[in-house]
Amino acid sequence: MSSEPKSKHIPQATVKRLATYVQVLKNFERDNVEVVSSNPLAEACGVQGSQVRKDLAYFGEFGIRGVGYHVKSLMQSITSSLRVDHEWPMVLVGVGNLGRAMINHINRASSAFTVKAIFDCDPFKIGDIVSGFEVMSPSEIQECVEKMHIDIGIITTRPERAQRACDHLVNAGITAILNFAPARIKVPDTVNVEYVDFFRNLYSLVFDLTQNGRNS
């Protein structure tokens, strides 16, 4: 069983679904399920069975006809192929409520992604200890990123401070940013940004509620 993807041209949408498969497989593993076929896996992931089979085909054949997929080895194959079977250290900028929650949440929820250092512009916060980390000045990001070989930065500032946080990260050599701040940020072409904005999801829920004519 090879952990190399068959093709390098895996679409981003597939990669995101694979993250969900891993999440669901972890829950199957927790419930002591050893083998799962594509349809129950698909149902648990909220996609079609054909979609699961197509997505997993990027990684070669893992399913055993009439049996299904081995939960543990499928999980390992996906995480190994996507290089999330080892730790990705991260820095976080913005130690407010959201930032504090994210440090705890991410560091507990995943062994692949770990916040290693935290920063804030507020001089009153610098030096505080939060979840075992000392809050540092953004001027120290670069040294930290270089020393710890960090590629990923998380922004949890207020919207009006997001661009400045972003600039600090980019100047320090960060090339991947997860932005929780409710603001769009400008980055060079060499930097990727993913936005997490759950107000988009809330808008979508309200739209469904009102389209159903119950709350207009």
Which residues in this chain contact a copy of itself in the complex, by CB under 8 A? 8, 10, 12, 15-16, 18-20, 22-24, 26-27, 30, 44-46, 82-84, 88, 97-98, 100-102, 104-105, 109-110, 112-113, 151-152, 159-160, 175-178, 180, 182-184, 192, 194-211, 214-216
Parallel, antiparallel, or unpaired for β 192-195 and 176-179? parallel
Cβ at position 193, least distance to a copy of itself in Å: 8
β pairing state of 152-155 and 35-36:
unpaired
Task: Specify the residue, 111 or 139, whose C-beta has the smaller distance to a copy of itself.
Answer: 111
How distant is the alpha carbon of residue 31 from its chain centre?
23
The minimum distance between CB 212 and a copy of itself, in angstroms, equals 8
Q: Is 203 helix (H, G, I), strand (E, B) or coil?
A: helix
Which residue number, 29 or 137, has a Cβ lying nearer to a copy of itself?
29
Provide the 3-class DSSP secondary structure of residue 14: helix
Question: Residue 202 has which token pair?
Answer: 């809330």
**Nearer Cβ to a copy of itself, position 12 or 66?**
12
Enter the tokens of residue 13: 């949408």
* Cβ–Cβ < 8 Å for 81, 5: yes
Between 6 and 64, whose beta carbon lies closer to a copy of itself? 6
